[in-house]
Structure 1
Amino acid sequence: MIFVTGATGFVGNHLVKTLLAFDQKVKCLVRPGSESRLRYPVKIVKGDIFSPDLAEKMSGCKALIHLIGIIREFPKKNITFKRLHVKATQVAIEAAKKAGIKRFIHMSALGTGPQAVTEYHKTKWQAERLVQESGLVYTIFRPSVIYGPYDHFTTLLARIIKRSPFIPIIGDGLYKLQPVHVNTVALAFVLALFLGDTHNHTYEIGGPQALTYREIVDTIAEHFKKRIKKVYIPMKIIKSVTIKLESFSFYPLTQEMLTMLIAGNVVKEQSFYKIFPLSPIRFKESLGFLK
């Protein structure tokens, strides 16, 4: 049986679906009240990553897939990178050891590393180090921006493009991303359970193409056969507005998000498709889920 944290999220649901397709028994840690967000029938244990009986909840499992993570902080609600990236990972590792689990597969993020400059990436790196030093047999994945059915990234862009002849572009829009389909990510996590060569390795995952933000917008507009006008918003204006509004949950950006966006998100280490028997999915040819 495979224990999954973060199963009710975008990637988590796709991962659970893939595990079931591989005839794996799945047990998911789900916070009370969030059961409806899990779209597939699996064994559920209620609680959160900080439940004192977490090791007991993992009983009977042979591997742990740890997906918990956030993209922005809300300190007043105790939602911080330090707590949900670093502390949560440490708790998961300790519980896995107590439960006799020896296999740990971890979700990190492309852009993390010892030279990380944002707290998001710094804490992702700290979490990676905990996993690497845990003594467990680990595999760590660092995906670029993930897209697919039920995502927030392409779905939001599609909604704007469908409803308006204009779309705002932050800065010059020339920063590059390497969108990777959620099916690729989900399959990678599952295949790592069976591929011995993946033990104690870290993999960057991206799609087959690095695309500028402009190209991503154009590709989605082309999918809907719609002509749009890009409205470029100077970075100086975006930054000044973000400084004033980032503490409010209704505002979609933070200064950290802007820093990461402008830095780009492109794979540097190319071993993933050499190890995993997966065909890269091209962004332009995989937008059929957008309606």
Structure 2
Amino acid sequence: MSEVAVADRPVTDSLVTVFGGSGFLGRYVVRALAKRGYRIRVPVRRPDLAGFLQPLGYVGQIQVMQANVRFPASVLAAAAGSECVINLVGVLAPSGRQSFDAVHAFGAKAIAMAATEAGAGLVHVSAIGADAESEVAYARTKGEGEAAARAAVPNATIVRPSIVFGPEDQFFNRFAALSRFTPALPLIGGGHTRFQPVFVGDVAAAIQRLVEGKGVPGATYELGGPEVRTFRELMELMLHEIGSKRLLVDLPFGVADFQARFLEMLPKPLLTRDQVAMLRSDNVVSEAAIAEGRTLTGLGIAPASLASVLPSYLWRFRKAGQFTRVET
């Protein structure tokens, strides 16, 4: 990365294209790269809804443009001239033409091919549990996306986070909001599934370091926080942070799957059969990744704990907001 100084601003001629840069993780990745002085291009379906990204950098540093991963020509145009391409595009539940296959598999292939055409490096963000042979559509298409990335760019770096948390997350915020109008929260499968929640800022920092070449080319990094907690423990922690008391009710997998058949028909599904199926397996960093240093620690990042971050945004669900005292 060639760099010159303009006043106190880090300026570089290196361009990084971030697909999915307007999403939850994306805005943190864009900000991390902007602080390092990269020029950043963010292709999105609706540029008119992504203007909030531009103040994250200097004037002209962050460019938002129109593109859609379902249309390879637009993806090629977006990646042109890039030194590195980052794929953060993903959906938790299919919606209309934004299906798992279209976004995770076809879209990933289009982005990887565009990176090849541009002669750029590729950082492909997937998920722990991705498996092209899985019977679960989410995990299968994530696995197919990884395969497509590696087929087009053999030295592509794969990033597999566990559940990502932070101020705009769809995990703690969703359940905290749900607890406001329901006397009980369901624990699918008894709440025994284990997670290793990772702070969104740490994932962004890891991606920034991989862009800078501080990782192992072609490696698969698994990112998790410092704590492994069961689903039940995460719900208990969330309820403690918002100062709320709710029943935690065990919900067998079979019952949850039946309910999901109807809930996934909602415009914004509360639960899908895919999500139920994924809860049958733990979502934690593997022993192999730890042994080989393919983790946050291996990238020189000390992961933030849940306790150090959750109070900073879950306070808004407390009865008196930030003025509510929560026992430690």
Task: Normalising by structure 1, report the TM-score.
Answer: 0.91
- 1:206 is matched with 224
Give 1:51 shift.
Answer: 4.9
Whether the 8 Å CA contact 1:70–1:84 is kept in 2: the answer is yes
Superimposed CA distance per residue, residues 15-35 of structure 1 (whole angstroms, 9 cap, x where no aligned partner): 111111222110110213x53
Look up the SS of the partner of 2:42 in the other structure: strand
Partner letter of residue 100 of structure 2? F
Bigger CA drift: 140-149 or 151-160?
A: 151-160
1:141-178 Cα offsets, whole Å, 9 max, x none, are 01111110111111112223455553333231111111
Q: Are the equivalent residues in 1 in contact too, given 2:116–2:152 (CA < 8 A)?
A: no
The separation in 2 between residues aligned to 1:169 and 1:123, in whole angstroms, is: 26
Deviates more, 1:123-132 or 1:192-201: 192-201
1:36 paired with 2:49, answer yes
Where does the alignment leave 5 or more consecutive residues of structure 1 unmatched?
none
How far residue 90 of structure 1 moved from its aligned partner, in angstroms, is: 1.3
> Of 103, 121, 132, which aligns to 1:84?
103
**In the superposition, relative to structure 1, how do residues 54 and 171 fare at CA in structure 2: closer, same or farther (>3 Å)?**
closer
Q: Which residue of 2 aligns with 1:59?
A: 80
Structure number with greater CO (CA < 8 Å, separation at least 6) is 1
Correspondence for 1:27:
41
Question: C-alpha separation between the residues in 2 aligned to 1:45 and 1:179?
Answer: 32
Q: Which residue of 2 aligns with 1:137?
A: 155
User: Matched residues in 2 for 1:79 and 1:36: separation?
Assistant: 18
2:152 maps to 1:147 = no
CA distance in 2, matches of 1:235, 1:248: 20
In the alignment, which residue of structure 2 is the partner of 1:176? Answer: 194
Give 1:196 shift: 4.2
Residue among 71, 90, 99 paired with 2:92: 71
Deviation at 1:248, TM superposition (A): 3.4
* Identical counterparts, % of pairs: 25
Alpha-carbon distance between aligned partners in 2 of 1:88 and 1:235, rounded to the nearest angstrom: 31
Contact between 1:177 and 1:211, CA under 8 Å: does it hold in 2?
A: yes
User: Hey, what does 2:258 align to over in structure 1?
Assistant: 240
The reply on whether 1:156 has 2:179 as its aligned counterpart is: no
Separation (CA, whole Å) in 2 of partners of 1:241 and 1:161: 19
Q: Secondary structure at the match of 1:149?
A: coil
Give the TM-score of the pair, scaled to structure 2: 0.81
Q: How far is the alpha carbon of 1:230 from its aligned partner?
A: 1.7
Query: Is 1:289 aligned to residue 313 of structure 2?
Result: yes
Name the CA distance, whole Å, in 1 between partners of 2:275 and 2:182.
24
Over the residues paired in the alignment, what is the CA RMSD in angstroms? 2.0
CA distances 1:235-268 after superposition (whole Å, capped 9, x unpaired): 3322222224433334321111101023221111
Q: One-letter code of the match for 2:41?
A: K
Query: Contact 2:209 / 2:215 at 8 angstroms: preserved in 1?
Result: no
More off after superposition, 231-240 vs 89-98? 231-240
Task: Tell me the CA shift for residue 217 of structure 1.
Answer: 1.0
Q: Partners of 2:211 and 2:65 in 1: how far apart?
A: 22
Report deviation, 1:111: 0.6
> Do the aligned partners of residues 3 and 115 (structure 1) sit closer, same or farther apart at CA in structure 2, a change above 3 Å counting?
same
Q: How many residues are aligned here?
A: 287
Tell me by how many angstroms 1:4 deviates.
0.7
Q: Distance in 2 between matches of 1:81 and 1:154?
A: 23
Quick check: 2:72–2:110 contact (8 Å CA) kept in 1?
A: no
- Deviation string 1:111-132 (CA, Å, 9 cap, x unpaired) is 1135533121111111111222
CA distance, structure 1, for counterparts of residue 103 and residue 26 of structure 2: 16
Could you say what secondary structure the match of 1:167 adopts?
strand
Q: Which moved more, 1:44-53 or 1:187-196?
A: 44-53
Q: State the Cα distance separating 1:100 from its structure 2 match.
A: 2.9
SS of the residue aligned with 1:263? coil
